[in-house]
Amino acid sequence: MTVAEGGFAMPAIGRREVLGAAGVAACGLAVAGCGTGDAEAKQVPGIKGQVIAKTAEVPVGGGTVVRKWKIVVTQPTAGVYKAFSALCPHRGCSVGSPEDNVMRCPCHGSEFAADTGQVMTGPATGSLIAYQVRVEGDGIVVV
């Protein structure tokens, strides 16, 4: 603790701590470039607790793209629902609804597995961001 002019006490902080705070602030402005691996930080704000689709809208082996939330909901096997960001990690186009458990990006042809969101075919090198969901009644809800 340091006593500054005027008599008020100031905590002693080092250069590293100041740079750390600046780094956090800069990262907060450009979340996508921070590489924190925190997928939750990249999810659509306000989506938690929302019914994003009805189970009847999501066929087994297929799925549906919900434009409002920029999300794709899949049912890779009967009764198992998954949700991913519909935004392709290559250049941000929206992937299409899955067919035969594969989501395809119409822009450059990347393909993603409907059960994990993992990239199967490039040029995308990253996976689709996954959302945790559960079924409540006939709705699929982000948790």
Per CB under 6 A, residues contacting ligand FES are 88, 90-91, 93, 105, 107-110, 123-124
The answer to whether 49 touches 142, Cβ cutoff 8 Å, is yes
Q: How many CA atoms lie within 13 A of 129 on its CB side?
A: 20
**H or E stretch at 59:** none
Shortest reach from residue 32's CB to ligand FES, in Å: 15
Closer by beta carbon to ligand FES, 72 or else 88: 88
Closer by beta carbon to ligand FES, 61 or else 123: 123
Structure tokens, 121: 């075919």
Shortest reach from residue 117's CB to ligand FES, in Å: 13
Closer by beta carbon to ligand FES, 62 or else 89: 89
Shortest reach from residue 98's CB to ligand FES, in Å: 14
Shortest reach from residue 4's CB to ligand FES, in Å: 53
Closer by beta carbon to ligand FES, 73 or else 88: 88
d(CA 61, CA 115): 9
Closer by beta carbon to ligand FES, 63 or else 142: 63
Shortest reach from residue 37's CB to ligand FES, in Å: 21
- List, in order, residues 6 or more apart from 131 with CB less than 8 Å away: 43, 47, 71, 83, 84, 85, 142
Residue 64 three-state SS:
strand
Amino acid, single-letter form, for residue 49: G
